[in-house]
């Protein structure tokens, strides 16, 4: 091992206000099923350091209190009536003989701290650098693990020697904590105890659990403050010695020495000038104020972040809840767009059909008008023909059927090229022609005339029937167009 490097370090030991140790056990034992009030203990960094914690038992509390207090309790209860009897150790330790709760508990907590909040990180870093071998860094996990174990071992060695150094202050068990912010420390369950002997009547005296009495018995000094100074000085040096022992065992080249704080200021280190310390203190105070300010800002930002995170979580849940409805609505919109486009296409086709129908309707109406004109002309022609036939019949002294036959025969001869007369342009001329040729009695055979008439009548009737059929079809087409226009108007009403 190389030359040891001398390093000054602060240590402290303090007896806490009296309180029940059992109430602190959940915190001491680092119960995993509870949420610690110290937020740092719930962090992953703290849980990573928890493996260096230790729990050491030295004296059984229940057995010790029973053995030390029961002789006095039994003697007291034997000489007291029922109301003033203790009956058991618990009542004796928590109540007086009048059943009033004790203001101060007999057992208490002792805290021993190695280094301090400000100096621990610096000390730990330097210790890692001192132990790190060539090629290793101070922040190497293996190096840091070694230093943590050395410090934990030093605290354990210190606790193991406590009862030997303090015969009138009993340490029952202790918890070594390496996982809290600040310096490593231990919490110990202690109780002062002094056997006061027997009185003049031969009865045992009440045992003393006064710390002042215990320290006076230990150091043989009457002054209470002097006793406390001796106790603290002894324990602080014992902690330094245990740490040096552990560091030597773990190969850390440090020689630790105790650094006290000056009386004028509990934070002033011995060996440092007052002026230098004041300047350093102001600098540290300013830095602490800045840290507090930044911590407040951090807390405010963290609160805002948590709020936003909660809002985001709420919105995310709402999004997941609404996402199926959104997809359905989106699909419905897409379907509606398709339906709308289809309806628009149908409307366009219907409009085209309507336009075509209107055009056809116009053509049919035009044809109807033309047909109507033709029919009117036909009626006029028919009336004129009937009038003319009657006139010819009267003149020929023949029936109208005979006149028609004569006329048709004349027409046939004309159009067949059999007529020898000039061009026949009208039905009247054909009748006149045929009548003049047969005026001398050479009339057509009645049977032939009747046949011609019948054929002519059939042809006229067929033409009239076809004309009526065309008229009915025209009316039907017009009616269909009217129905189509009504249906289309209804469709446009539904579309709106």
The two three-digit tokens of residue 316, written as one number: 């995310």
pLDDT at 227 > cutoff 60: yes
Nearest to 174 by CA among 162, 187, 158: 187
pLDDT confidence band for 422 (50 / 70 / 90): very low
Model confidence at 267, pLDDT cuts 50, 70, 90, reads very low
Contact present, 191 and 208 (Cβ < 8 Å): no
For 19, the token pair is 């309180």
Highest mean pLDDT (candidates 80-84, 154-158, 317-321, 389-393):
154-158
Q: Is the pLDDT of residue 62 over 70?
A: yes
Q: How many angstroms separate the CA atoms of 174 and 161, rounded?
A: 12
Predicted confidence at residue 483, as pLDDT, reads 64
* Model confidence pLDDT, tens digit, residues 130-175: 887 777 788 888 999 999 999 999 999 999 999 999 999 999 999 9
Start-to-end CA span in the chain (Å): 100
Task: Answer whether residue 393 shows pLDDT above 70.
Answer: no
Q: Which two tokens stand for residue 293?
A: 């300010």
More reliable by pLDDT, 118 or 307: 307
pLDDT at 444 over 50: no
Nearest to 326 by CA among 315, 314, 318: 318
108 Rama class: left (phi>0) / alpha (psi -120 to 50) / beta? beta
What's the mean pLDDT in 353-361? Answer: 79
Give the DSSP letter string of 91-127.
HHHHB-TTSPBPSS-S-EEEEEEES-TTTHHHHHHHH
Compute CA distances 451 → 388, 430, 438, 457, whole Å: 21, 18, 18, 10
Query: How far are the Cα atoms of 51, 166, 248, 256 from residue 46, in angstroms, in the given order?
Result: 10, 33, 27, 27
Spell 419-438 as b/e; 16+ CB within 10 A means b: beeeebeebebbbbbbbebe
Confidence at residue 259, expressed as pLDDT on a 0 to 100 scale: 83
- Mean pLDDT calculated for residue range 200-206: 89
**Is-above-0.75 flag for pTM?**
no
Share of the chain above pLDDT 90, in %: 24
Mean pLDDT lowest for which of 212-221, 304-313, 402-411, 454-463?
402-411
Domain ranges of the chain: 5-260, 355-495
Any bridge partners for residue 255, and if so which?
6
Q: Give the confidence band of 285 by pLDDT, cuts at 50, 70, 90.
A: confident
Q: What pLDDT does residue 168 have?
A: 95
């Amino acid at each position: 091992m190389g030359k040891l490097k001398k390093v000054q370090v602060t240590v402290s030991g303090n007896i806490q206000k009296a309180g029940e140790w059992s109430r602190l056990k959940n915190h001491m034992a680092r119960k995993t099923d509870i949420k610690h009030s110290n937020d740092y203990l719930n962090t992953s960094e703290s849980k990573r350091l928890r493996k260096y914690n230790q729990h050491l038992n030295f004296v059984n509390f229940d057995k010790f209190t029973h053995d030390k207090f029961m002789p006095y309790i039994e003697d007291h209860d034997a000489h007291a009536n029922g109301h003033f009897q203790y009956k058991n150790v618990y009542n004796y330790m928590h109540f007086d003989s009048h059943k009033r709760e004790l203001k101060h508990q007999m057992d208490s907590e002792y805290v021993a701290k190695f280094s301090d909040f400000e100096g621990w990180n610096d000390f730990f870093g330097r210790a890692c650098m001192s132990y790190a071998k060539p090629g290793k860094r101070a922040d190497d996990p293996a190096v840091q693990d070694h230093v943590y174990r050395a410090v934990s071992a030093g605290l354990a060695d210190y606790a193991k020697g406590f009862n030997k150094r303090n015969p009138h202050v009993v340490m029952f068990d202790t918890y070594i904590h390496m996982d809290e912010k600040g310096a490593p420390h231990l919490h110990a369950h202690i109780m002062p105890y002094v056997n006061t002997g027997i009185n003049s009547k031969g009865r045992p005296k009440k045992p003393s659990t006064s710390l002042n009495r215990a320290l006076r018995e230990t150091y043989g000094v009457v002054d209470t403050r002097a006793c406390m100074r001796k106790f603290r000085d002894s324990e602080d040096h014992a902690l330094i010695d245990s740490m040096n022992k552990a560091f030597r065992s773990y190969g850390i080249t440090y020689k630790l020495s105790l650094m006290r704080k000056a009386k004028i200021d509990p934070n002033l280190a011995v060996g440092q000038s007052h002026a230098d310390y004041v300047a350093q203190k102001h600098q540290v105070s300013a830095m602490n104020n800045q840290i507090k300010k930044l911590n407040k800002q951090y807390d405010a930002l963290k609160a805002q972040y948590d709020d936003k995170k909660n809002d985001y979580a709420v919105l995310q849940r709402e999004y997941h809840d609404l996402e199926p409805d959104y997809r359905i609505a989106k699909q419905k919109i897409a379907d509606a767009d398709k339906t709308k486009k289809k309806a628009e296409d149908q409307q366009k086709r219907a409009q085209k059909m309507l336009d075509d129908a209107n055009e056809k309707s116009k053509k049919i109406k035009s044809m109807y008008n033309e047909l109507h004109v033709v029919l009117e002309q036909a009626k006029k022609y028919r009336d004129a023909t009937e009038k003319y036939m009657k006139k010819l019949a009267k003149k020929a002294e023949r029936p109208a059927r005979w006149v028609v036959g004569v006329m048709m025969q004349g027409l046939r001869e004309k159009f067949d090229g059999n007529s020898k007369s000039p061009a026949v342009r009208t039905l009247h001329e054909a009748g006149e022609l045929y009548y003049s040729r047969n005026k001398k009695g050479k009339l057509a055979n009645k049977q032939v005339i009747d046949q011609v008439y019948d054929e002519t009548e059939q042809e006229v009737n067929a033409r009239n029937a076809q004309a009526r059929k065309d008229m009915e079809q025209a009316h039907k087409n017009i009616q269909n167009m009217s129905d189509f226009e009504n249906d289309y108007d209804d469709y446009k009403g539904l579309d709106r």
